[in-house]
Amino acid sequence: MIFLITKLIVFISFKIYKHNPNFYSKHCNLNMGLNDTDIKDISDRNGRNRNADVDKNTGAGSKKFPSDLKTLMVWAVLTVIFIFVPVLNETFLRIIFAWTTVLFIPGYVLIAFLFPEKNDMDLIERIALSVGLSAAITPVLGLILNFTPFGIRLNPIVIILSFFIFLFTILAYLRLKNIPEAERYNENFGFSNLSSKISDIAKFPEKPTDKALFVLLLFSVAFCVFTFAYVLSLPKEKEKFTEFYILNEYGNANWYPANLTAGENFTINVNIVCHERGATKYMLIVKWNESSEILYKRFIWLRDNETFSENFAFTAKDTFKNTTKRDFLLYKDDNSEIYRKLHLWIDVQI
């Protein structure tokens, strides 16, 4: 991750220097081997070129909100909807919206803010760098959340990603509105123009060998896309299981009664959570030290995702010396085999 972030910083620094050679001499006291006269000439020449372009393009940028940034904001809103709305968050569209928001949009809006002009980088560089920056931005935001009281949870991650996207979308628009429309990276943005640019980039090769490889590549990509869509469309069968655990009388998983005297009473909280995808019958049995004597027996019916929780009071017997254990046995659906088994070690002093 550090290596990736370092390479991205170097690439962005190179782009900034390429676009504005006197940037580092102005902010970092570095002149890259140029004297003050050369730097002034370069700055004046860049200023004249920008002024000439502004005069040619009526001197002002369009105030209209860019279509690509507007699309990304709508996409981010849809992502939040598909994450939190109960019915929509169970569809495969949630995965598509979430992965795009995490691995593409943050880097794209940051690149749009840093490099708003079309001469800064071409389309392929912009898309590749957007993916790379997004892969670096998201862990950094998660690291920031780790040092806050909110922690790395779903809600804080969605909020901070959405805030980052909307913040840099607005900042990118503020920079773009002062740039002539002909100089913007997203000039005449639209699906028809975008498809023409992609077709210009991916021209069909002329050589027979290249044609065969190109067709094979297209079939491979199509096969991967259809396979991925098929896997997402398959209904996922949930795992069947049952949670079975014991707590102390205060509902905590510590400070169990371990050292008791004969005749002393103690309380154990027994919990059963059904995840069997249907109504299930359980039988709970409590014994001392795997003896034949049954201290407690109860039949319990639970629906899917239903929880059984109840406190049970017991008395330490004087017939057991030193360390002994209490067995909590759970049977399911009239099965004679033990389904779940828990032990509680207790030291009984006479």
| CATH number (domain holding residue 323) | 2.60.40.10
* Global pTM value: 0.48
d(CA 46, CA 61): 18
Q: Is residue 43 located within the same domain as residue 99? A: no
d(CA 196, CA 198): 5
Section 27-38 average pLDDT: 48
Give, in degrees to the nearest 5, the angle at Cα 190 between 105 and 219: 75
Q: Is residue 72 located within the same domain as residue 180? A: yes
Q: Residue 221 falls within a domain, yes or no?
A: no
Q: What is the pLDDT of residues 129-142, one digit of tens each?
A: 888 888 889 889 98
Q: What is the mean pLDDT of the chain?
A: 76
Section 256-282 average pLDDT: 84
Q: Is residue 108 located within the same domain as residue 159? A: yes
Q: Residue 199 falls within a domain, yes or no?
A: yes
Q: Which of 95, 159, 102 is nearest to 131 (CA)?
A: 102
Of 16, 37, 56, which closes a domain? 56
Section 45-61 average pLDDT: 48
Residue type (1 letter), 208: P
Contact 326, 349 (CB under 8 A): no
Q: Is residue 73 located within the same domain as residue 199? A: yes
Q: Is residue 112 located within the same domain as residue 181? A: yes
End-to-end CA distance of the chain: 61
Q: Which of 319, 326, 315, 324 is nearest to 263 (CA)?
A: 315
pLDDT for the residue numbered 152 = 83
**Tally of domains within the chain:** 3
Residue type (1 letter), 266: F
Q: Is residue 182 located within the same domain as residue 91? A: yes
Q: Is residue 97 located within the same domain as residue 195? A: yes
Q: Residue 303 falls within a domain, yes or no?
A: yes
How is residue 48 written in tokens? Answer: 């004249």
| H or E stretch at 348 | strand 340-349
Structural domain that includes position 134: 66-203
d(CA 302, CA 279): 6
pLDDT at 95 over 60: yes
Helix, strand or coil, per DSSP, at residue 285: strand
Task: Burial-class residue 218 by CB neighbours within 10 Å (0-12, 13-18, 19+).
Answer: exposed
Q: Residue 333 falls within a domain, yes or no?
A: yes
Q: Is residue 267 located within the same domain as residue 321? A: yes
Q: Is residue 165 located within the same domain as residue 184? A: yes
